[in-house]
């Protein structure tokens, strides 16, 4: 999968390509939920990945909304696996960090070539 726009969390991959997203807490209790493609909200337990496959039709988009909260002045690393063209970290993973203490809503788009 290719990092299409890093600051805006847009990725582009092949039809049906698997995607894995890790959310790693630092100096805060892990307090994360997510909504994948409009499905009901789920809790993301510590140490677990968000895994899904890209859609099969060209141009189709999978949406991901992450909600991350803090109980200290900590941070979350959001790591998307198997990404090329990431401008901030070497392949295969692409990482960005969000710092607290205020709750964060982050919106991602995963498109099909």
Q: How far is the CB of 19 from another protein (least distance, A)?
A: 14
Site string for another protein, 52-91 (x = CB under 8 A): -------x-x-x-x-x-xxxxxxx----------------
Nearer to another protein, 26 or 51 (CB): 26
* CA 37 vs CA 30, 33, 87, 102: distances in Å: 22, 13, 26, 25
The C-alpha atoms of residue 93 and residue 87 are separated, in whole angstroms, by 11
Residue 106 Ramachandran class (φ > 0 left, ψ -120 to 50 alpha, else beta): beta
Residue ranges binding another protein (CB under 8 A): 4-5, 7-10, 12, 26-29, 31-35, 37-43, 59, 61, 63, 65, 67, 69-75, 98-109, 111
């Amino acid at each position: 999968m290719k990092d299409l726009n890093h600051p805006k969390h847009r990725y582009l991959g092949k039809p049906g390509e698997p995607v894995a997203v890790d959310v790693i807490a630092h100096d805060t209790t892990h307090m994360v939920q997510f909504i994948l493609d409009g499905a009901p909200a789920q809790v993301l337990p510590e140490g677990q990945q968000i895994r899904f496959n890209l859609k099969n039709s060209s141009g189709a988009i999978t949406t991901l909304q992450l909600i991350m909260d803090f109980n200290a002045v900590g941070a979350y690393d959001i790591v998307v696996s198997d990404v090329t063209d990431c401008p901030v970290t070497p392949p295969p993973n692409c990482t960005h960090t969000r710092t607290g203490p205020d709750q964060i809503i982050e919106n991602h788009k995963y498109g099909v070539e």
